[in-house]
Each structure stands twice: as structure tokens, then as C-alpha cells.
Structure 1
């Protein structure tokens, strides 16, 4: 009741959307899942007080208002519930005017579709989960269903990312970068923060996802570090997702691909740490120091897949 009072009621099953421009309230997060959840639910009629006759999909896959739009627009009670429209004698369908002959045929078609309705009961209306015989909802069942869908439709770049030898926190950070969800100043402004956006690395333009991780003159020197070693000619794409997709297609042999795939993660992680140091700790490193930090991170992550010594590490840089 407190949640309904605060946000207002969209329908008997859900509240209105939160209009706050920022914040991560618990209910705001839960409410954001409703559109995805609603399509997997089936309304089961009890007393009929919570299910709208025309606007809810209680009999067909679609609401009756979409199947019979011509009858809906002349209905005398378009927002009526099943409780309002049903009596012991049957359906009480009232219209705002006398029906034409062809509209009477449509009413007959409508009544034929809902002819097997057995009437209301004393039990309240309920929602049932479509994907189980018992209709019971559980987080575990939803998770397993989503897991199957994600695994079946997962792009190759994500499989390569999650299977890479970099630390888990770096993989998660890379995922945020590619999804453009990393908290750059661009994202913070969209969330309602009032800031004057500027890139902390080059001080030349606004800080956006694409600029910070791809096109910044400071970041470009890290990309050049690896591209020059491999003698690779490269035109930087517009977005990080495009870069990761193209990057995965290179790398030579199967063993070399493991190391090649680490490079974007290593660069982005190094850039983000340097950016945060300048933003929050008022410290900055020279480009030589940042390059060295990037190489060191790359070395230790490569070591996770069997790199034994620095000589082999140098050989890998030459063979990427």
C-alpha cells in the first residue's frame, strides 16, 4: 500500500513508473522489470474485479480491444472489469449507440470466442507464470529460462570476453564499457548530474564513452603501443562495441588469440584507473608511466595462461 501510494497505480498489478531523474531505489529497479515480466504472465479470472474485459489479455493472447477494435470504440464501458460485465444471466455488453447489421455479426463472433467462460468465483483474480504447468513463479525458474536464452543467443564477443584470462572485475568493467554503461561524465549527465564535462586525460573535449576509450589523444598512445608492435594498420571505429567485435577477428594462431583478446581490456582498465586518479585523487602519471602500467598488467594477465618468463613475454608482444 505504501508503494502504491507513493508511485500511483498503473493497473491492479503494478505501479506507475518512477519519474526520478537519478537514484537507484529498490522499487525503481524492480518496477523496470515489469514490461519484460508482463509478457510471461497469464491472467486467471477469479472474481473478475482486477481484470479489465476489453483491455487485459485474459482470454486470447491479445486483449479483446485489439481483436475487436470496432466494438471497443463504441463500448459504453471501455474500462469495465469482468466483474462489471458479467452477471448470472451472462454477459452484459452495452454500447453507446445502436449497432449496424455487420456490427451485430461482430458481437456474435465476440460472444462465440468467450462462450466457454464459466463465470466468476469468490476467489480473487491471480497472475500465473506461463512457462510452468503449476503456474507458480520463482526467481530460480526465471533465471534458468533467461540463462538458456542468453547462452543460445550470446554473441561470440561475449563468450570470448568471459573466457579471457583477465581478472573478473576487469571483464565486468569491459562489459560496462562496451554497453556504454560505465560512469563517464556523459552517463552522469544523463542521470541528472550537473557537471561541466571535460576529458581529464587530454583536456580537449567532453568526456564520452567513445572519446575516453577510443579517440582521446592520450588513449591513442596506448593503442599505438600495441598496434606498432604488431605492425597493424588500424582505423579506430566509432563505438567500443564495434572495436571489440573487429578486434576479436585478429590474433593469429589459437594460442595467440588468447593474448590478443586481452589488449582492449588492458588498455581500457589502465585508462580508467588513470582517469579516476586525476579526477578523484588529484594525481596524474606521465604517459610513459601509464604505458608501463599497461604493459605490467598485460604481462601478469598473460601469465595466468602459462607465460613463464619475461623473454617469452617479449616474444608474445612481437608475435601478436
Structure 2
């Protein structure tokens, strides 16, 4: 087992641009998730297993060495003490809520009155530590204290004092009367609606706190290739290595002129919408689609037009597939010109887009079936 204490908990948000890929689609990333959050969620699962399966052999061995309380004896240098330390820090730093593990009352034979979380947001021993030390049975279960419909406590002395009496009255106001049933006591996790602890959900919650977010939500089309979706993500964030972006980052480039048309500075909107190659391509696509598509000037303007136009969803998906593939093909054409690749034939660019789009939406999205109808009536 790896050493859990190598996991250093830091609650500041990442600012490294490379971390953008880790966040979820809703927050502008690629939904990969961070290994830090994954490790935290895996370590935290040991706490859940310790509570959920107290009679397993490994749990009994841990209890015999470190005690019955999960958080006891965590100052040693053992592996288990390191796991306990990480779990404690996760709750202290509020990466996961402290009350995410809670006991469900059944027959009251497994819930310790003072030390288990069964009412409120924390164990009663945390809030009523003063009167806990006055109880002669601090490790008793609820079933030991709930006798014949009344709470039964045995104190170490007869006179408790006015302050302690007030605390006891406050305690009774919180615990009320437990509702018992025939099933055994059990643990539940509030992170999921079904009461189970899952590493996936815990990882999502930790990533939400640790990772920075973007104002641009990620669009991911299942009927498109993964590499094209990743390209579209970089395109919308303006993080493609066009010459203007490279120059702005201080990278020495021989020229910032557009390699596709040799006319104008190569920034994103010029390469994909204003370049002569791009303009000719979008003109052919508008004629082929035979729809009232405006002159492409940006992705946002295209998406605004697509939302307003009255077409069935199948036709809209086909238009999206053609436009996204065209953007990717323009980028591929540009790289072919820069790196002297074989794919730099402008005359075949339009036919390539129609072919590759047909293959993707036929086999991935089942949006089209016949090649001849695709060529003549794509919508």
C-alpha cells in the first residue's frame, strides 16, 4: 500500500492553464479529473469501509491496534495513521462535509450515543464534551441509554451544577425521542441519493473546490470524433497555436502572416472565417446545404443563428457536424501548408469534408444512411 501521508492537502485553486483539461464539461474542461482528487477520494473510502464493515477481519485488526474510534491514535507513523490523518484534513479543509457519514437508527445496537454521528451535524461528544466526561458510560450505545421510552444516564457524581444542567437540557432538546425499527443500525452517505459512498462522486466534489473554472462551457458532440471535439474545445478557448497566439506568448516565430492565404495576420477568426481559403469553403458549404446560413464570422454568431432557425433537430445536428468538421479540416489544411504535408490541396478540401462528415455521423450518430442523398440533399 502506498503511503497516504504523501498526499499534501492544499485548498487553493489551480491557476496553471494546463489544468483546464481536468475540470468537468460544465466548467469548461474535458472532464478528466485530477489525480489529487482521485487519491483523496480513494483514501476517504477507507473511512467509509471502516464504518460500514466493522466486523471484517481487516477492520478488527485495525481496531485491535489503533482502537475502535476511527480518529483515535492517529499521531503514530503507521500507514493507517496516515490514512486517518488525510481523512481528517479532508474534512478540516472542507473538501468533503464532516457529516457526510451518518448512522441510520434501527434497533440501536450499533450506534454509540456520544461518538457516532446520528443526530445533528457532528457527534454529540464534540458539542457536549463537558458532560461527556460526567457520564459513567461514555462508550455506551443508544440502546443502553434508551430504556422503556426514556433516556437513562448514570453520572459520576450526584450534583452536576447549574451550567451542566443547562447543557443536559440542551442535549435532550437535540436528541428528542429516537424512532426504532426492526432492521439493524446502518451507515449512510449523504454524497449520493442512494446512501452509498462512491469515489466518482467524492472526486467530483473535491475537484469542484480545487480546480479553477472557465466561463465557456465545453460542448461535446457524441456523433463527432473525439479528436474533433478536443479541437473544438481548444478552438472555442482560442488556445490553438496560431502564429498570433504564439507570438503573444513570447515565442519567436518567423512570420505571423496567415500561411493559408499569405494575406493578413494569422489569428483565430482570420484563419477560420476571414481567410480567402475559409471564405471560399464556407461559400461552397452554404450552397450545398441550401439553407439561409449567414456569412460565418465567429462560432458564437453561427450558434446564435442555429438556435433561431426553425429546423428539425436532425437537420441541426447535420449542420453542426458539417461546420465542426469544416473548422477541423481548415486547421488540418493550415498545418499541411506549414509543415509541407501532403494534405494541402485546396481543391479537394470541400469533397474531403463531405466524405469525412458522412462517415462520422453515419457510424457514430446514425444521422444519415445514404451517400447519394447526403450529396444531393444533406438536410
Instruction: With the length of structure 2 as denominator, give the TM-score of the two structures.
Output: 0.44
Residue 232 of structure 1: which of 284, 292, 314 is its match?
292
Distance 2:260 2:18 in 1: 33
Residue 180 of structure 1: which of 219, 238, 260 is its match?
238
Instruction: With the length of structure 1 as denominator, give the TM-score of the two structures.
Output: 0.51
Deviation, 1:145, is: 6.4
Identify the structure with bigger relative contact order (alpha carbons < 8 Å, sequence gap 6+): 2
Q: Indicate yes or no: 2:97 matched with 1:132.
A: yes
Deviation, 1:261, is: 1.4
Q: Indicate yes or no: 2:224 matched with 1:259.
A: no
Residue 211 of structure 1: which of 258, 270, 294 is its match?
270
Q: Indicate yes or no: 2:345 matched with 1:286.
A: yes
C-alpha contact (below 8 Å) 2:256/2:265 kept by paired residues: yes
Q: What is the aligned partner in structure 1 of residue 360 from structure 2?
A: 301
- Which entry has the higher C-alpha Rg, 1 or 2? 2
Alignment length (residue pairs): 199
Deviation, 1:164, is: 4.3
> Structure 2 vs 1, CA of residues 29 and 182 (structure 1 numbering), >3 Å: closer, same or farther?
closer
Deviation, 1:177, is: 0.7
Q: What does residue range 37-76 of structure 1 map to in structure 2 within 5 Å?
A: none
Distance 1:14 1:298 in 2: 44
Q: What is the aligned partner in structure 2 of residue 272 from structure 1?
A: 331
Distance 2:99 2:260 in 1: 57
Deviation, 1:309, is: 2.3
Distance 1:264 1:147 in 2: 32
- Mind listing any 5+ residue stretches in structure 1 that lack a counterpart? 1-12, 19-23, 37-125
Q: Secondary structure at the match of 1:129?
A: coil
> Structure 2 vs 1, CA of residues 201 and 209 (structure 1 numbering), >3 Å: closer, same or farther?
same
> Structure 2 vs 1, CA of residues 14 and 313 (structure 1 numbering), >3 Å: closer, same or farther?
closer
Deviation, 1:298, is: 1.7
C-alpha contact (below 8 Å) 1:164/1:258 kept by paired residues: no
Q: What is the aligned partner in structure 1 of residue 229 from structure 2?
A: 171
> Structure 2 vs 1, CA of residues 173 and 256 (structure 1 numbering), >3 Å: closer, same or farther?
same
Residues 16-43 of structure 1 show CA distances to partners (whole Å, capped at 9, x for unaligned) of x99xxxxx8xxx857xx9xx9xxxxxxx
Deviation, 1:272, is: 0.8
Distance 1:246 1:254 in 2: 14
Cα RMSD of the aligned pairs, angstroms, is: 4.1
- Mind listing any 5+ residue stretches in structure 2 that lack a counterpart? 1-9, 28-88, 101-198
> Structure 2 vs 1, CA of residues 200 and 284 (structure 1 numbering), >3 Å: closer, same or farther?
farther
